[in-house]
Chains A and B, each alone.
Chain A
């Protein structure tokens, strides 16, 4: 168990923008991630090992900051679902892109998570962040008392409240738009994942063909046999190139646009959750108002108190939410922009390399004939 940090230093002692999650280490059934951050002062680094549970600990701490006004209006950076060694098919499907390539994309997703938290004006002030990033001991594992963001309750009540009409046009529009975008983004991410998986299959098939060609090589002096064998060997090289090509294309897809769409999709979900919390608060507020109106004189004062508290909280939430939404829009456009540009640049580079390679093969073949 950690000692409490007494010093109320509200800012982090490390840079937020270049936090890295460098590795995923397998230790039996658990995955451990290495988190590296640069000290603000001087040239030192913090290297800490964290499990998924530690990430969840951090998130819970951030969720449960009841003393921060309007905390429910924050769009919390999304934490990916839990990664498991020997994950079930269901888990793999849920993780999508993040489950591929030996957890490398997953590390990137965790990295994005930490960087966004460190960059957040409200969240970065939480002590838990500093502890998480710098403490050599693992952070405490106890469950925080109240989880106001209990997903289960959200799901149950979702049916009733999600459609609740808003009092504010801005928010109503935002809610509608978010609903639409969340669906579209999720679909696009899923379809793109299908593309990547098929590309990987093709790479494997090319490998098989290349291997099968090697079996056609025959020893012997016969000039025809030799000619055929040479052709088979060369063709086998061509298919090896094709395999590499496909693998690169798939990797590029995965690491740029794939991750981009995945993060975008999870971020949209995070906004959705924030908007939902606000809507719930709105429902609560409207109920409190009604209660205050209808209250008998005995209870009236108390109900008024409740009503006032609800109003204040709701105001705070709306205030924070508006800021968050504005920020969010900027961030997500930038995020997509970056993904698309990187994606295009990488694919362009790969295509040029491959064109060269295939050209070389072609020339070599023409030389044979």
Chain B
């Protein structure tokens, strides 16, 4: 009856990554709880998206709520997908050290945890200051042909008591990282935690590597990916809650990791696309949320603006990187032509000076390349990371809206049940009346839960945003300082080169 029974997770083998044109809700039957009773007379919730099961009404016109179940929450398709890792042993359930999670029916994961326990986790951590150093290194090709993959060494150095050892390393492949992210996302995104997105999949890049092309572009690709994986892990462990997640600990520590199967589908890009689509769907169905808290409105606008600005900056840096690479190529060509000129020259001193010139230019070319790398790895990737992070932030805000919606839906449903019950009072159907009273009792609990959930997610988001903003400033400052250091170093190298060349030039007579 009206309960929160869920469908078993859909066959994940049939799932495929959504292309942009696809509708998230193409298969409502497979992905949602049984259709809501949508009353034609009233507009309960404009987000009800199930098939109108008119048959419901045929049974018993009076018993409008006979088949009523929990309304569909828009995140369920996505969440079902996320959970389609199945009753996987790889997803280790969270057991916070103190207090009790009131588990909902059966499954380890359910709609909302009570998060008071997380607050306690955060407050408890005062003792262990953050001291972790993670590196991703030694990319190694494993296997042959199209089944080949890159294995990366993940080394952790830490003094935190959370870990058994002070220094340890494991081997991981790209899909392991994706798997970690999908688990974290499924556990934390919908309760308001900003889970850092995993690096993007790249079919082209990986195919080249698999096929065994040992050229510069595939080396660059591997390096780019290695760096992205490192940044991803660092961001994840910097989050005080995520750091303590057993999946994260397992990822870092255990030598064997069960293979994450459905990550072919669940790249972070795919996930975020789904989150975005869900968000779009939400917007299309116009959740008119009565935002009682101006803070959220302001913050959402702020992140919208930030998104636009960061994208602009990113485009700008990409252009800069492109020109620098061009400069490197041109400098190398000039060096060659200078060398040829030096060779053709019969005046000895001039010839030698020109050859020296060619050498200097070659060295300068190397500087240009280094500078281009700095431009890219420091700024371009940072900005790209933040553009993706902000998508996650927006997703979290959307979850809050959905949470609110859910709460509202419960309230409305409760109200209707009460009205129906009132009507039943006048009839002589003791069974039905009792049933109605039971339902009301349950709904009241639900409404309370919904309100708590909403408040909790709002509270979590506030904290998360505050942490995010602080991290953002720190991140940018750190990168800028690194960049400036690289600029200073380049100039000093240049000074050395020019100093060495000057006497050669003067020696021409």
- Asked whether B4 is an interface residue with its Cβ less than 8 Å from the other chain, the reply is no
Q: In whole angstroms, what is the CA distance A215 to B487 when docked?
A: 24
Instruction: Judge whether A202 and B481 touch: CB under 8 Å.
Output: no
Query: Cβ of B485 < 8 Å from any Cβ of A?
Result: yes
Selected contact of B473 from candidates A180, A199, A231, A337, CB within 8 Å: A231
In the complex, A151 has a CB within 8 A of chain B: no
The smallest C-beta distance from B277 to any residue of chain A, in angstroms, reads 28
Q: How far is the CB of B348 from chain A (nearest CB, A)?
A: 10
Q: Is B265 an interface residue (CB 8 A)?
A: no
Partner-contacting stretch, out of B132-140, B226-234, B254-262, B314-322: B314-322
* B410 lies within 8 A of chain A by Cβ: no
Task: List the A side residues contacting B350 at CB < 8 Å.
Answer: 333, 336-337
Q: Is the CB of A336 within 8 A of B508?
A: yes
| Interface: A149 (CB within 8 A) | no
Q: Are B498 and A242 in contact (CB under 8 A)?
A: no
Contact with B along A227-253 (1 / 0, CB 8 A): 110010011001000100000000000
Q: Taking the complex as formed, is A188 at the interface, i.e. its CB lies under 8 A from any CB of chain B? A: yes
Residue pair B502, A341 in contact (C-beta under 8 Å): yes
Contact B319 A208 (CB under 8 A): yes
A205 touches B481 (CB 8 A): no
Confirm or deny: A160 has a beta carbon within 8 angstroms of a beta carbon on chain B: no
Interface of B is mostly: helix
Known: A215-B312, A347-B498. Is A337-B509 also a contact (CB below 8 A)?
A: yes
Residue of A nearest to B365 (CB): A195
B residues near A358, Cβ cutoff 8 Å: 484, 487-488, 491
Residue of chain B at shortest CB distance from A264: B341
Closest chain A residue, CB of each to CB of B488: A358
Residues facing A in B465-495 (CB within 8 A) are 466, 469-470, 472-474, 476-478, 480-481, 483-485, 487-488, 491-492, 494-495
B337 within 8 A of partner (CB): yes
B344 within 8 A of A: yes
Inter-chain contact A192/B334, CB cutoff 8 Å: yes
- Among A50-58, A282-290, A315-323, A349-357, the stretch that binds chain B is A349-357
Contact of B495 among A209, A343, A348 (CB under 8 A): A348
Collect the chain A residues with CB atoms within 8 Å of residue B312's CB: 212, 215
Whether A224 contacts B491 in the complex (CB less than 8 A), given A188-B334, A231-B480, A362-B485, comes out as no
Task: Point out the residues of chain A lying under 8 angstroms from B330, CB to CB.
Answer: 191, 194-195, 198
Of A202, A215, A216, A238, which one neighbours B327 at CB under 8 angstroms? Answer: A202
Given the known interface contacts A187-B340, A198-B323, A348-B499, the answer about A212 and B505 at a Cβ–Cβ threshold of 8 Å is no
B491 touches A354 (CB 8 A): yes
Q: CB of B338 within 8 A of chain A?
A: yes
Question: Is the C-beta of A361 less than 8 angstroms from some C-beta in chain B?
Answer: yes
B320–A209 touching, CB < 8 Å? yes
Q: Total contacts A to B, CB within 8 angstroms?
A: 156
Q: Is A144 an interface residue (CB 8 A)?
A: no
Q: CB distance A231 to B509 under 8 Å?
A: no
A234 to B495, CA, bound (A): 25
Q: Is the CB of B327 within 8 A of A227?
A: no
By a CB distance below 8 angstroms, the chain A residues around B357 are: 340
**Beta-carbon contact of B316 and A355 below 8 Å:** no
Question: Is the Cβ of B472 less than 8 Å from the Cβ of A347?
Answer: no
Does A101 touch B at the CB level, under 8 Å? Answer: no
B346 beta carbon closer than 8 Å to chain A? yes
- Say yes or no for B313: interface residue by CB 8 A criterion: yes
Chain B contacts with A in 52-104, Cβ cutoff 8 A: none
**Contact flag A365-B481 (CB < 8 Å), given A191-B337, A341-B505, A355-B495:** yes
Instruction: Given A202-B320, A224-B473, A231-B473, check contact A195 B334 (CB 8 Å).
Output: yes
B182 CB, min distance to chain A CBs, angstroms: 30
C-alpha spacing A301/B472, complex, angstroms: 99
B353 in contact (CB, < 8 A):
yes
Residues of A within 8 A of B495 (CB): 348, 351-352, 355
Decide if A345 is an interface residue (CB 8 Å cutoff): yes
User: Does B217 count as interface, using CB distance less than 8 angstroms?
Assistant: no
Query: Smallest Cβ distance from B451 to chain A, in angstroms?
Result: 29
Contacts of B337 in A (CB 8 A): 184, 187-188, 190-192
B120 at the interface (CB under 8 A from A): no
> Which chain A residues (286-344) contact chain B, with CB distance < 8 Å?
329, 333, 336-337, 340-341, 343-344
- Pick from B327, B344, B472: contact of A199, CB below 8 A: B327
User: For the complex, is B155 an interface residue (Cβ under 8 Å from A)?
Assistant: no
How many residues of A are in contact with the other chain, CB < 8 A? 58
Closest CB in chain B relative to A31 CB, distance in Å: 30
Complex CA distance for A351 and B323, rounded to whole angstroms: 20
A145 at the interface (CB under 8 A from B): no
- Find chain A residues with CB under 8 A from B488 CB: 355, 358-359, 362
Tell me if B169 counts as interface (CB < 8 A to partner A).
no
Are A355 and B491 in contact (CB-based, < 8 A)? yes
Chain A contacts with B in 157-183, Cβ cutoff 8 A? 177, 180-181
Query: How far is A347 from B361 in the complex, measured between Cα atoms in Å?
Result: 13
Contacts of A36 in B (CB 8 A): none
Distance, CA A340 to CA B326, complexed state (A): 24
A178 to B504, CA, bound (A): 24
Contact B344 A228 (CB under 8 A): no
Q: Does B463 contact A (CB under 8 A)?
A: no
Neighbouring B residues of A187 by C-beta, 8 Å: 337, 340-341
Distance to closest chain A CB from B364 (angstroms): 9
B324 contacts the other chain (CB 8 A): yes
- Tell me, yes or no, whether A206 is within 8 Å of chain B by CB: yes
Using known A-B contacts A191-B337, A341-B505, determine if residue A209 contacts B476 with beta carbons closer than 8 Å: no
Answer whether residue A156 sits at the interface, using C-beta atoms and an 8 A cutoff.
no
* A347-B364 Cα distance, complex, nearest whole Å: 12
| A234 (CB) vs chain B CBs: closest residue | B480
Q: Determine if A154 is an interface residue (Cβ-Cβ < 8 Å).
A: no
B438-476 Cβ-contact flags toward A at 8 Å (1 or 0)? 000000000000000000000000000010011011101
Nearest B residue (CB) for A211: B316
Interface string of B352-363 (1 = CB under 8 A from A): 010001000000
Which residues in B have their C-beta under 8 angstroms from that of A365? 477, 480-481, 484
- The verdict on B347 contacting chain A, using a C-beta distance below 8 Å, is yes
What's the minimum C-beta distance from A15 to chain B, rounded to whole angstroms? 26
Quick check: is A368 within 8 A (CB to CB) of the other chain? yes
18 additional A-B residue pairs with CB within 8 Å, beyond A202-B327, A369-B477: A194-B333, A198-B323, A202-B324, A208-B316, A208-B319, A209-B316, A209-B317, A212-B316, A227-B473, A235-B480, A238-B483, A337-B508, A341-B506, A344-B505, A348-B495, A351-B498, A358-B491, A365-B484
* A-B residue pairs in contact (CB < 8 Å), sample of 11: A181-B345, A184-B344, A185-B341, A187-B341, A191-B334, A194-B333, A205-B316, A238-B480, A336-B508, A352-B491, A358-B487
Across the A-B interface, the 4 shortest Cβ-Cβ residue pairs:
A355-B491, A348-B498, A340-B505, A224-B469
